[in-house]
Amino acid sequence: MMNTSKDNNISNLLLMGWTSHFQEQLENFSNKDITPARVIGVRKNSFLVSDGNNEWLATVAGRLRIDTGSMYPVTGDWVIMNGSVISRVLVRRNTLSRGASGTRNKQDAQPQKEQVIAANLDTVFIVTGLDRDYNLRRIERYLTLIWNCGINPVIILTKADLHQEPLNFVNEVESVAFGVPVYLISAYEDTCLKSLEPYLAKGQTTTMVGSSGAGKSTLLNRLYSKEIQLTSPISIHDGKGKHTTTSRHMAVMPQGGMLIDNPGIREIAFWEVDKGMGSAFPEIEAIGKECRFTNCSHTHEPGCMVLGAVEEGKISIDRLENFRKMKREMEYLSDRQHKSADRVEKERWKDITMQIKTIKKRNSGFKH
């Protein structure tokens, strides 16, 4: 007889983003009665989890707190539950990560730590307000960060009602965000919200990043058609937003998918150093291959085709300077990570050598 309850559980998990990637991990467990769930909220010392039917508060097993090699749960994670205790985090499809805040551009700082913002994502909404928050260079940083993590970005320009011709901003953003969907959202127009619904379909998980006051919580409320997240007005003194959202919570949307609201990000520091630069600056990367020197820094070298493109107006000097700045950060971060790995390996062999010496000394003592 078919186990209807189990089939319903799997069906509910599929709606929440469960895939074969996680199912294959589950089948490796000898205990077939284990309960998978998804982390939909993180608080100071507790986690809100859901199995598609029920939501409950959970704590994390002590082993996960102590073992630095184990993954610590974040919003979006799929986990194995032992009652109200998270006993294990399943291997992630991807993570949206950044360098821990307060360390970017500090060359003499301690090795940068990874801060995982959310896990197992299909899309990241870059939310930017068309007020003082609007900044092309910051959008480039967000794109690089997201592509580094192997996730698809989407740009949402809010507060379009503040301008008579907001489409000019769309054109400007599209000129630096090659192939990335750009949507214009107004406080008085709901038509554009329909364009975002495919990213919120059943089984899809999306998160939002952006500055405080960019309109993330307002957008969440409008997409939900109900106020489920608190919002705060922008300061009239400096135009800066307040940190209304102080934790990461995943909302199951009426469209069927899931949307994670995040606290505002002040500092976009990198952690992953994979393919973000090539995706965020494809024209610079392409033209750079034609430079006379293969290691051209695009600053002063003779025969630099990128500098030639700047002189011809094909690339803006501001965009090139942002590219150079991020390139330096990536190279520094990569070198530091490799050096840290080498240091760990040296320390490991040092410990092994000490253990061998201890064993030899002990054996020598036995002979006498």
Task: Classify residue 285: in a domain, yes or no.
Answer: yes
For residues 273 and 237, which has the higher predicted lDDT (pLDDT)? 273
Task: Classify residue 132: in a domain, yes or no.
Answer: yes
- Computed over every residue of the chain, the mean pLDDT equals 84
* pLDDT of amino acid 365: 58
For residue 298, give the CATH number of its domain: 1.10.40.50
Single residue among 52, 67, 89 that ends a domain in this structure? 89
The reply to whether 60 and 150 lie within a common domain is no
Cβ atoms of 75 and 39 within 8 Å: the answer is: yes
Q: pLDDT (tens digit, 9 = 90+) per residue, 128-145?
A: 999 988 999 999 999 999
Q: Of 85-94, 214-223, 351-360, which has the strongest mean pLDDT? A: 85-94
Task: Classify residue 275: in a domain, yes or no.
Answer: no
Mean pLDDT within 227-245: 48
Residue 27's pLDDT band (boundaries 50, 70, 90)? confident
* pLDDT of amino acid 68: 65
**C-beta neighbour count of 253 within 10 angstroms:** 21
- Structural domains in the chain (count): 3
The reply to whether 179 and 55 lie within a common domain is no
Distances (CA, A) of 195 to 56, 183, 257: 33, 8, 14
Task: Classify residue 266: in a domain, yes or no.
Answer: no
For residues 275 and 270, which has the higher predicted lDDT (pLDDT)? 270
Cβ atoms of 51 and 26 within 8 Å: the answer is: no
The reply to whether 64 and 11 lie within a common domain is yes
**C-beta neighbour count of 299 within 10 angstroms:** 11
* pLDDT of amino acid 242: 45
The reply to whether 248 and 110 lie within a common domain is yes
The reply to whether 19 and 118 lie within a common domain is no
The reply to whether 178 and 255 lie within a common domain is yes
For residues 206 and 363, which has the higher predicted lDDT (pLDDT)? 206
For residues 235 and 308, which has the higher predicted lDDT (pLDDT)? 308
The reply to whether 173 and 245 lie within a common domain is yes
Task: Classify residue 15: in a domain, yes or no.
Answer: yes
Mean pLDDT within 61-85: 88
Single residue among 89, 122, 141 that ends a domain in this structure? 89
Residue 271's pLDDT band (boundaries 50, 70, 90)? confident
The reply to whether 103 and 75 lie within a common domain is no
* pLDDT of amino acid 276: 81
* pLDDT of amino acid 189: 81
Residue 245's pLDDT band (boundaries 50, 70, 90)? very low
Residue 347's pLDDT band (boundaries 50, 70, 90)? low
* pLDDT of amino acid 45: 80
* pLDDT of amino acid 29: 83
For residues 270 and 293, which has the higher predicted lDDT (pLDDT)? 293
The Cα–Cα gap between 263 and 341 comes to 31
pLDDT at residue 350 greater than cutoff 80: no
Task: Classify residue 192: in a domain, yes or no.
Answer: yes
The reply to whether 104 and 52 lie within a common domain is no
* pLDDT of amino acid 2: 40
Mean pLDDT within 301-313: 96
* pLDDT of amino acid 231: 54
* pLDDT of amino acid 188: 80
Single residue among 89, 108, 124 that ends a domain in this structure? 89
Mean pLDDT within 100-116: 59
Share of the chain above pLDDT 70, in %: 81
Cβ atoms of 222 and 238 within 8 Å: the answer is: no
The reply to whether 124 and 222 lie within a common domain is yes
Q: pLDDT (tens digit, 9 = 90+) per residue, 49-65?
A: 999 889 999 999 988 88
- Give me the domain span that covers residue 163: 95-261
Task: Classify residue 273: in a domain, yes or no.
Answer: no
* pLDDT of amino acid 358: 64
Task: Classify residue 271: in a domain, yes or no.
Answer: no
* pLDDT of amino acid 108: 44
Residue 346's pLDDT band (boundaries 50, 70, 90)? low
Q: Which residue has the tokens 């003194």?
A: 237
Closest listed residue to residue 203, CA positions, set 262, 154, 253: 253
* pLDDT of amino acid 233: 47
pLDDT at residue 109 greater than cutoff 50: no
The runs of H, that is alpha helices, within the chain are: 4-15, 20-26, 62-66, 136-148, 167-174, 191-194, 216-224, 276-280, 282-288, 305-311, 317-367
Taking the model in full, what pTM does it have?
Answer: 0.81
The reply to whether 199 and 310 lie within a common domain is no
For residue 191, give the CATH number of its domain: 3.40.50.300
The reply to whether 195 and 241 lie within a common domain is yes
